[in-house]
Amino acid sequence: MLNIEDLFKGRHFDREIIILCVRWYLRFKLSFRDLVEMMVERGISLAHTTIIDL
């Protein structure tokens, strides 16, 4: 069984950012483009295609 560190090993973004995006995506039924816009407001630059790989 994988521990939490192994699940996020080798990812470009911190696990807090990944978890936040997944949480908002599932809770509020946002699009990937909506998430990108919200992350840009927080100073994190990414493309909507990057989220698919998170």
| pTM value > 0.75 | no
Taking only the tens of pLDDT, the chain with its 54 residues reads 778 888 888 877 888 888 888 899 899 988 888 988 988 898 988 877 766 555
Contact by Cβ (8 Å): 53, 8: no
SS3 45: coil
